[in-house]
């Protein structure tokens, strides 16, 4: 399906969310953990076991599978990924204590790329996947365009540079490179600050003066 058609379809979902009383671009979601924290903390949890106590997490839906009354989402935050286990008999959409359509809303109105908040308990499925057994969810940001194909990723070099935000979403290596670069730059800046240096910005991308200092262009005929 062309991107324009996909965008139109997702805009229709935005309208449906608003008609149902949801804010498709929610302002706030309180989290208690990141994905990497949960993966580390419950690394030894046996398959089939569930832990008491609620956790709250938020991130971008990177994959979604729906099987009858069950759905499995892969949620990615800034630290990594974790699976969301969504059971029709349990899950609520955050609008009310009881909503029999919450699971249908989940199936019909969510897409890969959406930013999603979820609360629930930690369990490890029978197949060994650490998951959040979701009791309540909220669509925090409705994505209007699809992400690149998950199997091939974003391989076009020019597109990676021109659409860096997409590169950072789908390529963990790119995110890690930028994170390390930011830490290195920050460390250098702190060291120089402590040493008494002053940071001065200079035009490093222009070989000649521009803006107010630029000379006007002249036609060749004027100098003939």
SS3 110: coil
What was the pLDDT predicted at 160? 75
| CA dihedral for 84, 86, 90, 94, sign (positive or negative) | positive
Q: Give the list of residues 6+ apart from residue 215 with CB closer than 8 angstroms, or none.
A: none
SS3 137: strand
What was the pLDDT predicted at 150? 59
What was the pLDDT predicted at 55? 96
What was the pLDDT predicted at 77? 92
What are the E-state strand segments in the chain?
50-67, 70-76, 81-87, 115-124, 130-141
For Cα atoms 179, 27, 186, give the angle at the middle one, nearest 5 degrees. 20
- Cβ 69 vs Cβ 88: under 8 Å: yes
For Cα atoms 151, 157, 161, give the angle at the middle one, nearest 5 degrees. 115
Full-model pTM: 0.74
Burial grade of 125 (CB within 10 A; 0-12, 13-18, 19 or more)? middle
Domain map of the chain by residue range?
3-141, 157-194
For Cα atoms 194, 196, 200, give the angle at the middle one, nearest 5 degrees. 110
Q: Phi/psi class of residue 126: alpha, beta or left (left: φ > 0; alpha: ψ in -120 to 50)?
A: alpha
- Cβ 178 vs Cβ 61: under 8 Å: no
What was the pLDDT predicted at 89? 86
Q: Phi/psi class of residue 193: alpha, beta or left (left: φ > 0; alpha: ψ in -120 to 50)?
A: alpha
Q: What is the pLDDT along the chain (224 residues), one digit of tens a residue?
A: 556 788 888 999 999 999 988 899 988 899 999 999 999 999 999 999 999 999 999 999 999 999 989 999 999 998 999 999 999 888 887 654 556 688 888 889 999 999 999 999 999 999 999 999 999 999 999 998 877 765 455 667 777 777 787 888 888 888 889 989 999 999 999 999 999 999 887 766 666 666 666 666 666 655 55
Q: How many residues does the chain have?
A: 224
What was the pLDDT predicted at 85? 94
Instruction: Say which CATH class 3-141 falls into.
Output: mainly beta
> Comparing C-alpha atoms, which of 126, 38, 105 is closest to residue 76?
38
């Amino acid at each position: 399906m062309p991107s324009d058609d996909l965008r139109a379809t997702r805009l229709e979902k935005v309208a449906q969310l608003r008609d149902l009383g949801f804010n498709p671009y929610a302002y706030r979601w309180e989290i208690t953990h990141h994905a990497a924290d949960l993966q580390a903390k419950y690394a030894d949890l046996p398959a089939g076991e569930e832990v008491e106590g609620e956790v709250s997490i938020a991130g971008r839906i990177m994959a979604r599978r729906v099987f009858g009354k069950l759905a499995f989402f892969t949620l990615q935050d800034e630290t990594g990924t974790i699976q969301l286990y969504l059971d029709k008999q349990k899950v609520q959409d955050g609008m009310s204590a009881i909503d029999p359509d919450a699971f249908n809303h989940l199936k019909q109105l969510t897409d890969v790329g959406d930013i999603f908040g979820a609360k629930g308990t930690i369990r490890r499925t029978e197949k060994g996947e650490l998951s959040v057994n979701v009791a309540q969810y909220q669509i925090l940001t409705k994505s209007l365009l699809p992400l690149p194909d998950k199997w091939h990723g974003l391989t076009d070099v020019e597109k990676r540079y021109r659409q860096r935000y997409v590169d950072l979403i789908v390529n963990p290596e790119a995110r890690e490179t930028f994170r390390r670069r930011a830490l290195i730059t920050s460390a250098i800046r702190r060291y120089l600050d402590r040493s008494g240096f002053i940071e001065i910005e200079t035009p490093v991308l222009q070989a000649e003066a521009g803006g107010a200092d630029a000379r006007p262009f002249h036609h060749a005929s004027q100098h003939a």
